[in-house]
Amino acid sequence: NAGVMQNPRHLVRRRGQEARLRCSPMKGHSHVYWYRQLPEEGLKFMVYLQKENIIDESGMPKERFSAEFPKEGPSILRIQQVVRGDSAAYFCASSQAWSGNQPQHFGDGTRLSIL
């Protein structure tokens, strides 16, 4: 089984540009989670989505950040007008169901660098 696929692995943007990060969950998984890891820090939850629905976005910055998980295709994390502080590793995870007994499986992340 293919794991969680994220692309691109590395993304370089200039300040003010837009960044789009994609995540394809594991086969059979309909729950997607995005996390951000700043340099030398732990992972921080950003948003939890099911197909076509945002369930919990309590960890998302209020401005410039948005996420979607359409009926068809990958989940997208979009960052508008990027700033230097957005430089981080962004990880996506997926699970089969929203249950304490269902582990989240992670992709290898997208490293975003802002020039």
Burial (CB count <10 Å: 0-12, 13-18, 19+), residue 13 = middle
Interacting span for other proteins (CB under 8 A) from 14-22, 69-77, 80-88, 106-114: 106-114
Q: Rounded distance, CA 46 to CA 66, Å?
A: 10
Q: 68 with 83: CB under 8 angstroms?
A: no
Helix (H, G, I), strand (E, B) or coil at 86: helix
Minimum Å distance from CB 99 to other proteins? Answer: 5
Give the footprint of other proteins on residues 8-37 (CB under 8 A): 33, 35
Is 99 a binding residue for other proteins by CB under 8 A? The answer is yes
The footprint of other proteins on this chain (CB under 8 A) covers a number of residues equal to: 26
Binding residues for other proteins, per CB under 8 A?
Answer: 4, 33, 35, 42-45, 48, 56, 58-59, 89, 91, 93, 98-101, 103-109, 111
